[in-house]
Chains A and B, each alone.
Chain A
């Protein structure tokens, strides 16, 4: 049995993803150190936080006995209630703060951060989507697909002049300029897939979203609007069955498809596919 030093003082670690700063507060120096390692590249030292999240570590998984293995995200009494076998959490969007009890600290926190960011983005017309994304020539390309369609492969095949944003989750925010015109930015983030490597903490205008399909040669074809919306809805990360949230995502995806070209990228597993992404 080992003992770890626990500070009496709250330790704040500000994690900035997609330009949104969430201060994670804990009493455990050890946990704070693990946080800094896990989210290296996304830690801000002197930045005011947009949101606060308090983490109370649970010493024994038995403390969470009775919680189901499946994820539940429910909006009730003006609060989001999140729970899974390894954590329970609450999120108050209005007060911009939340609370969490994890057992497997980093795994649970990673899941909660994805959910919380998806809720924040939903209010401003953005979303998280199951897609790899990379920047080339100042433009972001996203490659959406279910597991096994080649998201990580596209990242592995990418030439040296690209910047990895993520091989698993594309973080999309709507941006409105002073003149009223709007566009979408894709942000690098620490949510990774098989590559097990965080993206670079940067962003670029999202130039195109490609629906991945493997084939014998490389082709890039336009997808008509209705099909694009339906396909994208299947890949958008929606953690809750809340109807209002579903309507938000529907509107966000429709608005996105009206501005960002959605294409079908058929590709063979060789680096030549990147010649289509100029």
Chain B
């Protein structure tokens, strides 16, 4: 199974509010609010770190065990964000620096 990579889109405005990331899409002004785990994944979306590693680190920081379904849940989540244009998703590392938006 190939690795997947995620990077924050530059077409967003985002702020960390009370531990939750609030993201405003520049495409349609839609607001998204991420919970703590999703926020950790979002902040780690640097285009270079594989999603599998990001998920493991993000969940391991909050829970003692990483559930088997965690990666699958995360893939569903990042695909949804990618559909809204606020996250870039690729099978290759994302090196385009312009793709990376603010982490907070």
A residues touching B (Cβ–Cβ < 8 Å)?
Answer: 224-226, 229-230, 233-234, 238, 241-243, 246-247, 249-251, 254
Contact = CB atoms under 8 A, between A and B. Distances in A.
Contact of B20 (A226, A249, A251): A226
Interface stretch (B8-16, B48-56, B67-75): B8-16
A242 B15 contact: no
Contact of B24 (A225, A226, A250, A254): A250
- Interface centre among B13, B26, B101, by most A CB within 10 Å? B13
A230 B26 contact: no
Q: How large is the interface on B (under 10, 10 to 19, 20 to 34, 35 or more residues)?
A: 10 to 19
Contacts of B11: 241, 243
A230 B18 contact: no
B38 interface: no
B31 interface: yes
B87 to A, nearest CB: 15
A226 B27 CA distance: 23
Interface in B1-36: 10-15, 17-18, 20, 22, 24, 26-29, 31, 33
Given A241-B27, A243-B10, A246-B26, A254 B15 contact: yes
19 contacts: A224-B18, A226-B17, A226-B22, A230-B33, A233-B22, A233-B31, A238-B29, A241-B29, A242-B26, A243-B10, A243-B11, A243-B13, A243-B101, A246-B12, A246-B29, A247-B102, A250-B24, A251-B15, A254-B17
A121 to B, nearest CB: 17
Contacts, number: 46
Nearest to B28: A241
Interface of B: 10-15, 17-18, 20, 22, 24, 26-29, 31, 33, 101-102
A249 B24 CA distance: 10
Nearest to B11: A243
A254 B15 CA distance: 9
B24 A246 contact: yes
A21 to B, nearest CB: 30
A251 B17 CA distance: 11
Given A233-B24, A246-B29, 4 more contacts: A230-B17, A230-B33, A247-B13, A251-B15
B22 A230 contact: yes
A234 B20 contact: no
A225 B18 contact: yes
Contacts of A243: 10-13, 26, 101
A249 B31 CA distance: 13
Contacts of A241: 11, 26-29
Nearest to B22: A230
B15 A250 contact: yes
Contacts of B13: 243, 246-247, 249-250
A234 B30 CA distance: 8
Contacts of B12: 243, 246
Nearest to B16: A226
A62 to B, nearest CB: 31
B26 A226 contact: no
A79 to B, nearest CB: 19
Nearest to B14: A250
Contacts of A233: 22, 24, 31
A225 B13 CA distance: 18
B16 to A, nearest CB: 10
Contacts of A249: 13
Nearest to A234: B31
